[in-house]
Amino acid sequence: MASRNPAYSKGQTEPYKVSRSKIELFMQCPRCFWLDGRLKISRPSSPPFTINKAIDELFKKEFDSYRAKGEPHPLMEQFSINAVPMQHDSLDVWRHNFTGVSVLHKPTNLWVFGAIDDLWVDANGQAIVVDYKATAKEQGVSIDSAWQISYKRQLEVYQWLLRQNGLSVSDTGYFVYTNAVVGAAGFYDKVDFVTKLIPYTGSDAWIEPTLIKMKECLENDNMPAVGKAAMGGTCEFCNYARARTELTLAAIKPKAKKKAKK
């Protein structure tokens, strides 16, 4: 699973790897997904969120210490969640970026995978999917913004993957969402955070129909229509590509005319 995915070949018999983030890409814009899958033309990447990654790693160490003891984390007690961090032989594999929780979706021959942040288990033996989030803003954190639909779909994909691996998974997962306090008098090599547990009850009913649409998209030789942006309107990446192409063509035409006259 660690090797880079080659371009999809129409009619290929080899399973084609699809990460959780590629599912999200398709949901945002089928055209961007098709360009990525068929031609390996990917969206420009954003800078790595190294601070967020560090916080994720620290959260994992913190919850792992309670996992080893078989005790609930204080946040679980604070927010009245009757659960403990789950102990499972595959947890390290499931949390690794290039392996994750994976399954071959036989109807499409898509090999779907995604790396979870954490798993808890409730009193009924159901697994609870947990995702860590970090930010820094003056108002409190929530998952109510339109663009945060991607967070919710992320959790639902993880729930679906774990169910495909035989686990009994609760429909309700949690975001461990921490917010840096920006109102302090100074930095002084220290940032305080306030952490909330935000529940989200998901449904994975959309995932298998989406995988079928993704396979149809990959098999199609025609580039799909532009998708919609998370905050409304059309895909900002496609809009940029079109605007840049139009400007480039407008700049080239006068030069082409001059050469033709010569």
Residues linked to residue 221 through DSSP beta bridges, in sequence order: none
Q: Is residue 61 one of the residues assigned to a domain?
A: yes
Query: What's this model's pTM, rounded to 2 decimal places?
Result: 0.91
Whether residues 124 and 239 fall in one domain: no
Whether residues 200 and 239 fall in one domain: no
Indicate if the pLDDT at residue 244 is higher than 60.
Answer: yes
Whether residues 127 and 161 fall in one domain: yes
Whether residues 68 and 125 fall in one domain: yes
Whether residues 256 and 160 fall in one domain: no
pLDDT of residue 260: 63
Contact 105, 12 (CB under 8 A): no
Q: Which of 114, 118, 121, 129 is nearest to 203 (CA)?
A: 129
Indicate if the pLDDT at residue 255 is higher than 90.
Answer: no
pLDDT of residue 162: 98
- CA Rg value for the chain: 22
**Predicted confidence (pLDDT) per residue in 19-68, tens digit:** 999 999 999 999 999 999 999 999 998 888 889 999 999 999 999 999 99
User: For residue 144, what is the domain's CATH number?
Assistant: 3.90.320
Task: State the average pLDDT over residues 74-101.
Answer: 95
In the numeric block, which tokens belong to residue 68? Answer: 């080893």
Whether residues 143 and 251 fall in one domain: no
Whether residues 249 and 207 fall in one domain: no
Q: Is residue 42 one of the residues assigned to a domain?
A: yes
Q: Is residue 159 one of the residues assigned to a domain?
A: yes
Residues linked to residue 105 through DSSP beta bridges, in sequence order: 110
Scan for tokens 């302090």, then name that residue: 184
pLDDT of residue 213: 96
Indicate if the pLDDT at residue 220 is higher than 90.
Answer: yes
Whether residues 174 and 200 fall in one domain: yes
In the numeric block, which tokens belong to residue 81? Answer: 């969640």
pLDDT of residue 1: 40
Tell me which residue range forms the domain holding 190. 16-219
Indicate if the pLDDT at residue 231 is higher than 60.
Answer: no
Task: State the average pLDDT over residues 210-215.
Answer: 97
Q: Is residue 126 one of the residues assigned to a domain?
A: yes
Residues linked to residue 118 through DSSP beta bridges, in sequence order: 130
Task: State the average pLDDT over residues 184-192.
Answer: 90
In the numeric block, which tokens belong to residue 153? Answer: 């779909």
**Crossing angle of the two packed helices 149-164 and 20-28, in degrees rounded to 10:** 140
Contact 15, 110 (CB under 8 A): yes
pLDDT of residue 98: 85
Q: Is residue 240 one of the residues assigned to a domain?
A: yes
pLDDT of residue 232: 63
Across the chain, mean pLDDT equals 92
Whether residues 140 and 250 fall in one domain: no
List, in order, residues 6 or more apart from 57 with CB less than 8 Å away.
Answer: none
List, in order, residues 6 or more apart from 39 with CB less than 8 Å away.
Answer: 7
Residues 110, 157: Cα–Cα separation, whole Å: 14
- Cα 36 to Cα 25, 31, 50, 89, 229, distances in angstroms: 9, 8, 25, 34, 17
Q: Domain total for the chain?
A: 2
Q: Is residue 202 one of the residues assigned to a domain?
A: yes
Whether residues 239 and 188 fall in one domain: no
Indicate if the pLDDT at residue 2 is higher than 90.
Answer: no
Whether residues 248 and 126 fall in one domain: no
Q: Is residue 230 one of the residues assigned to a domain?
A: no
Whether residues 242 and 132 fall in one domain: no
Q: Is residue 88 one of the residues assigned to a domain?
A: yes
pLDDT of residue 229: 67
In the numeric block, which tokens belong to residue 1? Answer: 């699973």
**Predicted confidence (pLDDT) per residue in 134-154, tens digit:** 999 888 899 999 889 999 999
